[in-house]
Amino acid sequence: MFKEFQGTPQQWDAMVGKADYAPFLQSYAWGEFQKSVGRRVWRFVDEKNEACVQVIANDIRYGIWYAYVPFGPTGVLSSDEIESLTEYFRKEGALFLRYDNPSRPVEGVRKTKGMQPEATILIDCAHNEEMLLSAMHSKTRYNIRLAEKKGVAAKSYFDEAFTDAVFDEWYALLKNTAERDAFSLHSASYYRLMRGALPGLGLIGAYHEGVMIAGVLLLKFGDTVTYLHGSSDYAHRALMAPYLLQWEAIRHAKSCSAHWYDMWGIAPAGASPGHPLTGVTRFKEGFGGTYIVHSGAYDAPLSSVGYWVYTVLRRIL
């Protein structure tokens, strides 16, 4: 059966880190960050301290909420353990329990659309730089060299170097990118809290003539560095700064002994040309790596009537 976790952050992360590649969304620091933005968080372990799961309360509206498990549970759970988790959140009043890309199959669940990417590209940082470059598309290598030739320079900001001034410059660029490409964005305060809560979070910026023209937000957890957000100035698109930044991000992952560099989100195989990630997928595929398909999102309804109403309303609203 499950029990509430009573150990240290280091002990928790050690359990999560046993996964094939470490899911930062199950890290202790991610849970603390979620608390800082007002969400409830639970952590459970099995009796042998071999399997664990971090659960986050996500509000829907009018006091209705669901229990959210991103990239978890970690480890193999028995049917009794899954049932105990289900019963716990039924008593807590959750509408349903959502497993978003669980690391292992979960019984008694319904396929749904999740918030996390369905597929990604993982780059093996154990290879030397020559091998990593040779695995890239020739056009990608050309664009990296072109950015350097045109005077684009990369600067890294981790730990105390990620100052308020650097953050403000990056966030202004991110807002412009979101408006141009029509994707939703959290507030500046959300990202400021993230910066303070997540060890291993940092930024690599691309500069031309002293001005930041592109940036990538990265997070290291366990054996993986993950590419969280990218931004760029459209007026400087001919300088190919995003290509140089991805190469510098891979080099950063190698420098901090990460096994994997996770490109995070790409369109799933067979997606239509109109898929919102089609363009960014072509860009990311140019860097080589291994295509990874996640398991998808699944809901375990905790109130059959309530869940039916929720699914109907979600279709029409």
CB 112 within 8 Å of CB 298: yes
Give percent of the chain with pLDDT exceeding 70. Answer: 100
Q: Where are the strands (E) in 142-289, listed by range?
A: 153-158, 201-208, 211-221, 224-232, 260-262
Highest mean pLDDT among 20-24, 111-115, 134-138: 134-138
- Please, which residues have CB within 8 angstroms of residue 218's CB and are 6 or more apart in sequence? 201, 202, 203, 204, 225, 226, 227, 228, 249, 252, 253
Report whether CATH 3.40.630.30 matches the domain 119-293.
yes
Model pLDDT, residue 161: 96
Q: Calculate mean pLDDT across residues 45-49.
A: 85
Residue whose token pair is 């997070």 = 219
Say how far apart CA 264 and CA 123 lie, in whole Å: 11
- pLDDT at site 251: 98
The pLDDT, as a whole number, for residue 268 is: 87
Per-residue DSSP letter, 74? B
Q: What is the pLDDT of residue 272?
A: 84
Among 51-55, 75-79, 139-143, 156-160, the range scoring the smallest mean pLDDT is 75-79
CATH architecture of 3-114+296-316: 3-Layer(aba) Sandwich (3.40)
Q: What integer is the mean pLDDT of 100-129?
A: 89
- In which residue ranges of the chain is CATH 3.40.630.30 found? 3-114+296-316, 119-293
Q: Do the Cβ atoms of 272 and 125 come closer than 8 Å? A: no
Residue-wise pLDDT for 188-236, tens only, equals 999 999 999 999 999 999 999 999 999 999 999 999 999 999 999 999 9
* 275-301 per-position pLDDT tens digit: 888 889 999 999 999 999 998 999 999
Give 239's DSSP letter: G
Tokens of 51: 């399997």
| pLDDT tens column, 132-191 | 999 999 999 999 999 999 999 999 999 999 999 999 999 999 999 999 888 889 999 999
pLDDT of residue 20: 75
Statement: the pTM of the whole predicted model exceeds 0.85: yes
Q: Which of 252, 197, 196 is nearest to 225 (CA)?
A: 252
